[in-house]
Structure 1
Amino acid sequence: MLFNSFEFLFFFPVVVFVFYVLPHRFRWFWLLLASYYFYMSMEPALILLLIASTILDYYCGRQMYLKQDNRIRKRYLWMSIIGNLGMLFFFKYFVFFTNSSQAIMEFFGIDWLGVGGEENYVFNKILLPVGISFYTFQTLSYSIDVYRREVVPERHFGRYALYVAFFPQLVAGPIERASRLLPQFRKEVFIDIKRIKWGIVMMAWGFFLKLVVADRIGVYVDAVFLDPSAHRGLPLFIGSLFFAFQIYFDFSAYCTIAIGAAKVLGYDLMQNFNRPFFFSSVRDFWRRWHISLMLWLKDYLYKPLIAKFGLNKIVAVLIVFFFNGLWHGANWTFVVWGLLCGVLMIIEVGTQPLRYAVLRKLGISLQNPVLRFVTWLTIFLSITTTLVFFRSPNILHALLYIKNMFSLNSTFVNVTYDRTELWLSMVLILLVQIIHYFKGNDDIPELVLNRKPVLRWGFYIAFIFTIVLFSVNRQNNFIYFQF
């Protein structure tokens, strides 16, 4: 079920109404049923994978808590890791690694498929379960935290199942930690009008970001990326900039709706974006972007690589960003994107002493506004260029796009032949960034709820009309649904 669907507009009020009517002791069961229905409305059979992952990690968590022998506890940890990553590999990466291995073998003249080649080698395209990367990482964090004795395993199977399947953040995050979300399910929630209003405004802002802004920008992005050989220079440059904002608004829209929906139900989800384009460095950007994933990679991959395996920080960063890219999709374009992001990080950190020494000699302060703007612009253009690989279907397509993007011999930018929409897209990007400058995404309700009733209701009405009149009627999936 898509957040941006009419089905959800009926589903969510029913869930909220029944939730507050039921006694506290039955609410977990109602939310679990609602979450499973939410997931099954997209792919009914694959709910079995979600349930299998839930049972596996619940069992392993309980055993790791009960056993005192660390060798036995480690076996259950590996059972959880292999089981979860095994499902993720098969359903998300099997075809990718099979095709990649086949291409490598054929490059060296080895026909690993035997006589007849591909004609006799048949495997079905494996359906990618929606949200599998998110709930796999969420359950893995639970198992690892239990093994580290940082979390006491949940005894109530139903509440643990709800932690895995909680519908607002099930499909595209944020990736919640058990220590943060599970205790909330144990507490009784009472009707709090102020909190419910806050959640509804958050949801409305998320719908605005998705339906009015992200999908509108996506029309131009789709047109440019469809055939980069048909364009040169400026339109491709604008397309890469637009995609950076499209994916930000699209993903932050999902997280904003998720946070708002959870807030209406009385639960707090973690912030997943913190004004990422107001960064001061590459490192600062990654502290602000997809916060739950980057914290996951830091806590469960980067730190162990440094502390337990003694790897060099540069190598550890490259490994982390390799898996960051691979996590996003089973395609070499994502791997290249991830590695390029890692290289940018390494260049920034590695050249910092030299850059600071040069600036000191020139007598230029790090707080110099011109320097800060040039630094920001350089990083922003680097990030948007790497995102060309993220958006492209294959590496050759991305390289052609970048090559033609720097062939600055065309100023024709109206590739969709709708100049009004192009200007409106630019105005909306600027408007949202100005709002985010003064109010972070999670503080947007303050702009509305702290006003006098007349102004507040004026905001409500204007918001509804804006979404109804200016929505792009594409009913697109959220971009991160494919991950």
Structure 2
Amino acid sequence: MIIGFYTLPHKNRWLWLLLGSYFFYMVHEPSLALLLIISTTVDYFCALKMPNASYRIKKYLLCTSIFTNIGILFSFKYLFFFTSSIEGIFKFFGLNIIDTSHTGAYNFNQILLPVGISFYTFQTLSYTIDVYRGKISPEKHFGVFALYVSFFPQLVAGPIERASRLIPQLKKEISIHLPNLKKGLIMIAWGFFLKVVVADRLGVYVDAAFEDPEFNHGLPLFIGSFFFAFQIYYDFSAYTSIAIGTAKTMGFDLIQNFNKPYFATSISEFWKRWHISLMDWLKDYIFIPLGGSRCSKLKVVRNVLILFFIVGLWHGANWTFVIWGILNAVLLIIEFSTNGIRKLIFKTLKVPKTIIKILGWCSLAICLSIPLIFFRSPSITDAFLYFKSMFNITGLHVNILNNYFELILNFIFIIGIQTIHYFKGNDKIHELVLNKSTAVRWSIYLSYILVIVLFAINRQNTFIYFQF
């Protein structure tokens, strides 16, 4: 893709990237590309007609875009969830509303979930909403707009880009820039390291902990929930690094999706640093239109609960995700409500800022790990079983894999990566390499290859966020 991009003249590059993006998407399930085409076509024409339309027609066009995109998303991701939930409620009252006696009865669970549908749906929706609000002008070139929706580096797992940022870049004439190539390749290599060496290694322990929580009770389950918090972070940030790096090699700058989230000292700060593109999207198009935080306290609570209900549901069609989202909302509400009291206590006791920061890190680790048990568990019943077994501490045995080398190695990798993130963040990893002499750089390259060969976990796991 990169070689073809720089070989072709500028006027033909959009077509090369568009064809490559659709090929990349259709490798998984070719027929589902039709949904991408429908979403792209509807939003393109709806936005194109808005500037010269009356207020009533503009509203009609916006509603057409929203209902089309949300309708597709609902049908393929949430239809079975809602029908099974409604069926469960009726069965609780002794009513059977779905007749399954016929062998030809349709099973909604057989609907295939299109990869990345939550990401590209939000990306294209932001375009039509921004055109409706008058923030941007509609893109007249259908091919460029189609490329914006389907741009392959971030198509299946983000980051969720805005048209005002990405479309001008797609139209800009770009020449080969060696520093961009180097930075991009280093970001890609860093992403692969996070995925195949660290995230997948943590996943081995996490899978064992969640597979049989009744048998593996006590401290191993505490470690399992702790490891999962880092597994999902490294797994997701790995894909983001690869996406940003791939785009960078062609001269495109994608938005950073993480800003050292686990160094936040509060829940609210964490959500400003985690999955930034999604949280900014929800803030601009859901939270602020509801009134944001500039309304009465009761309405702020309502807005936060609605926001994180959507956050949970966006991640998956399961009540476990909804509960995870609501728990984070409750923690945020508690944090807001006790903010003044905590500041008064720290001031009265004259607690040093360093101690306050350490306490913030520790409390954040607990507040994130506990709700994530619902996120990782296949059902609510399994989540409660995990909680029950986790607090059933009968000994000091901590390694359910019976391999203390792997257990210690996991902690070493976490400490090492967090140290790198603390000093370089998620976006300046390349400085660890490019600022060094030639001999040191090649030593790092060779060491990287050696680490991949020795420590990569060959589990053929897809990225966790592919399912969202």
TM-score (ref. length: structure 2): 0.97
**Structure 2: how far apart are the matches of 1:467 and 1:173?**
25
Describe the SS at the equivalent of 1:66: coil
| Residue 122 (structure 1) aligned with residue 109 (structure 2) | no
* Aligned match for 1:447, one of 427, 432, 442: 432
Query: Residues 113 and 121 of structure 1 are in contact (CA less than 8 Å); yes or no, is this contact kept in structure 2?
Result: no
Match of 2:44 among 50, 53, 58: 58
Cα displacement (A) at 1:468: 2.2
- Residue 7 of structure 2 corresponds to 21
Paired residue secondary structure (1:443): coil
Once residues 210 and 385 of structure 1 are traced to their aligned partners in structure 2, the CA distance between those partners, rounded to angstroms, is: 23
Report the CA distance between 1:65 and its aligned residue: 2.1
- Give the conservation status (yes or no) of the 8 Å contact 1:61–1:146: yes
The corresponding residue for 2:246 is: 261
Task: After TM superposition, give the deviation of residue 120 of structure 1 in Å.
Answer: 6.8
Contact 2:120 2:155 survives alignment (8 Å):
yes
AA partner of residue 314 (structure 2)? W
**1:183 aligned to 2:168?**
yes
1:83 paired with 2:68, answer: yes
Give me the whole-angstrom Cα distance separating, in 2, the residues matched to 1:119 and 1:103: 21
Compared CA separation, residues 387 and 135, structure 1 to 2 (3 A): same
2-side partners of 1:197 and 1:112: how far apart?
60
Q: In the aligned structure 1, how far is the partner of 2:304 from the partner of 2:156?
A: 27
1:94-133 Cα distance to aligned partner (Å, 9 max, x none): 001010000001111111124x658674324110000000
Aligned pairs for 1:28-39 within 5 A:
28-39=14-25
Indicate if the aligned counterparts of 1:111 and 1:117 stay in contact, CA closer than 8 A.
no
**Residue deviations 1:330-364 (CA, integer Å, cap 9, x gap):** 0000000000000110000011122223333x332
Residue 283, structure 1, aligned to residue 272, structure 2: no
- What's the secondary structure of 2:159's corresponding residue? coil
Distance 1:277 1:157 in 2: 41
Amino acid at match of 1:104: I
User: In the alignment, which of 93, 97, 102 is matched to residue 87 of structure 2?
Assistant: 102
Asked whether the equivalents of residues 213 and 385 of structure 2 are also in contact (C-alpha less than 8 Å), the reply is yes
For 2:342, the equivalent position in structure 1 comes to 355
Map 1:39-438 → 2, pairs under 5 A: 39-67=25-53, 69-114=54-99, 121-124=105-108, 125-306=110-291, 312-360=299-347, 362-365=348-351, 367-438=352-423
User: For the structure 1 residues 430 and 129, does the alpha-carbon distance in structure 2 shift closer, same or farther, using more than 3 Å as the test?
Assistant: same
Conserved? CA contact 1:233–1:409, under 8 Å: yes
| Alpha-carbon separation, structure 2, partners of 1:42 and 1:452 | 42
The alpha carbon displacement at 1:417 in A equals: 2.2
1:51-104: CA deviations, max 9, x gaps? 11000110111011231x111101100100000000000000000101000000
1:66–1:464 Cα change, 3 Å: farther
SS across alignment from 2:50: helix
Structure 1: 5+ residue stretches without partners: 1-14
Q: Is the 8 A contact 1:146 1:152 kept in 2?
A: yes
What secondary structure is seen at the aligned counterpart in 2 of 1:228?
A: coil
Measured against aligned partners, the alpha-carbon deviations of 1:252-271 in whole angstroms (never above 9, x if no partner) come to 00000000000001100000
Change beyond 3 A, Cα 1:222–1:29: same
For 1:163 and 1:89, how far apart are their aligned partners in 2? Answer: 22
Q: Which moved more, 1:367-376 or 1:406-415?
A: 367-376
Q: How many angstroms does 1:458 deviate by?
A: 1.1
Aligned CA-pair RMSD: 1.5
Q: CA deviation at 1:369?
A: 2.2
Q: Give the Cα separation in 2 of the matches to 1:339 and 1:295.
A: 18
Asked if structure 2 preserves the Cα contact closer than 8 Å seen for 1:232 and 1:410, the reply is: no
Q: Secondary structure at the match of 1:415?
A: coil
Distance 2:455 2:361 in 1: 32
User: Could you say what secondary structure the match of 1:150 adopts?
Assistant: coil
Q: Give the secondary-structure state (helix, strand or coil) at the position aligned to 1:179.
A: helix
Helix, strand or coil for the counterpart of 1:442?
coil
Amino acid at match of 1:122: Y
Counterpart secondary structure, 1:152? coil
Aligned equivalents of 1:435, 1:176: Cα separation in 2: 26
Q: Is the 8 A contact 2:2 2:249 kept in 1?
A: yes
Deviation, 1:308, is: 12
CA distance in 1: counterparts of 2:431 and 2:31, whole angstroms = 42
On the 8 A contact 2:25/2:33 being kept in 1, the answer is: yes
SS in 2 for 1:408: coil
1:233-275 deviation per Cα after TM superposition (whole angstroms, max 9, x unaligned) = 1100000000000000000000000000000011000000011
Q: Structure 2 counterpart of 1:320, which letter?
A: L
The CA distance in 2 between the partners of 1:307 and 1:260, in whole Å, is 34
Asked whether the 8 Å contact 2:293–2:300 carries over to 1, the reply is no
Retained in 1: the 8 A contact 2:292–2:300? no
Q: Give the 3 Å change call, closer, same or farther, for CA 420–58 of structure 1 in structure 2.
A: same
Give the count of matched residue pairs. 465
3-state SS of paired residue (1:375): helix
Q: Structure 1 residues 373, 391: CA separation in 2 closer, same or farther (over 3 Å shift)?
A: same
Identity of aligned residues (%): 55
Partner deviation per Cα, 1:287-313 (whole Å, 9 max, x = no partner): 110000000010000000117997711
For 1:271 and 1:47, locate their aligned partners in 2 and report how far apart those are by CA, in whole Å: 27
The two structures have a TM-score, normalised by structure 1, of 0.94
